[in-house]
């Protein structure tokens, strides 16, 4: 089993566009073998943050998800619409954090601690 939680900080004014693109992505993701659930939610504390929550039967199912065409397409949108993403990969015996800052943001800007 593998859970994932992610916080995507959107560029100002991009929330509605992101959520519109996310709907078909989630629909396709839920058809994948080994996907137990996958959802995007708007943050209740930050209007420019979207939260992803996902669960896979196995870590391998998550790896397969990352190799789908719909993931590649959505990841392109994420890079275009988001400033950064913070992720927690939750396994049965450990948690592995991951962080991405997207290319067209200012690399000199300080990272915000969360």
Local confidence band at 114 (pLDDT 50, 70, 90 cut-offs): very low
Answer whether residue 103 shows pLDDT above 90. no
- Classified by CATH at the fold level, domain 2-101 comes out as Alpha-Beta Plaits (3.30.70)
- Kindly state the tokens that stand for 70: 């719909």
DSSP label at 75?
A: H
Q: Which residue bears the tokens 């990272």? A: 111
Q: What is the pLDDT of residues 58-102, one digit of tens each?
A: 999 999 999 999 999 999 999 999 999 999 999 999 999 999 998
Burial class (CB in 10 A: 0-12, 13-18, 19+), 83: buried
- Total number of residues shown for the chain: 114
SS (H, E, C) 30-65: CCCCCEEEEEEEECCCCCCEEEEEEEECCHHHHHHH
pLDDT at 32: 98
**pLDDT tens, position by position, 18-46:** 999 999 999 999 999 999 999 999 999 99
Would the pLDDT of 12 be above 80? yes
How confident is residue 112, by pLDDT bands cut at 50, 70 and 90?
very low
Three-class DSSP category at 13:
coil
């Amino acid at each position: 089993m593998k859970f994932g939680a992610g916080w995507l900080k959107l560029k100002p004014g991009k929330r509605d566009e992101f959520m519109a693109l996310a709907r078909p992505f989630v629909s396709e993701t839920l058809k994948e073998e080994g996907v137990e659930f996958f959802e995007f939610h708007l943050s209740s504390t930050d209007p420019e943050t979207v939260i992803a929550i996902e669960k896979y039967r196995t870590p391998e199912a998550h790896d397969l998800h990352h190799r789908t065409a719909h993931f590649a397409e959505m990841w392109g949108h994420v890079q275009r619409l988001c400033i950064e993403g913070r992720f927690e990969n939750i396994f049965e015996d450990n948690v592995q954090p991951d962080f991405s800052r997207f290319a067209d943001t200012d690399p000199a800007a300080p990272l915000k601690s969360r």
